[in-house]
Amino acid sequence: MSGPRTRRTATPVPGFPTSSQDGQQDGTRPAAGAGPLGAAAGVERLHARAPQRALGVRVSADLLERYAVLLAGLRGDRLESSMTEVVHALLHAGPRTQEELRCLVREWRRARDADL
């Protein structure tokens, strides 16, 4: 393909802070009417039409089954959802700082390696 190349700009990912030009962390704005979870966690408000990116990951069969059962339960409660929506919700509710993420990763590693 030929033609002018366009410069790609970084698109903020929900649940992950972005860096401003002066190196300060952005993304810590309090949520304006984002609901109890967002308001309590100080999570930025998400735009329903924000661009989405593919996230190719392999997931433990046990975890996938656990969430499949939870999703089936939601359908029984007449609340339709999808694994994609669940992943969005988990990322949205997840850690907001590097220290929180560090603790979560270490906790995951301990749980994963407990049977070794």
Q: Quick check: is 105 in a domain?
A: yes
Q: Which residues, including other chains, have CB under 8 Å from residue 67's CB and lie 6 or more apart? A: 83, 86
Whether residue 74 is contained in a domain is answered as: yes
**Which pLDDT belongs to residue 109?**
95
Neighbour tally for 15: CB within 10 Å: 19
pTM for the model:
0.58
Nearest 5°: phi and psi at 25?
A: -80, 125
- Per-residue model confidence as pLDDT tens digits over 92-109: 999 999 999 999 999 999
Q: Tell me, yes or no, whether 78 lies in a domain.
A: yes
Residue 81's domain spans which residues? 55-113
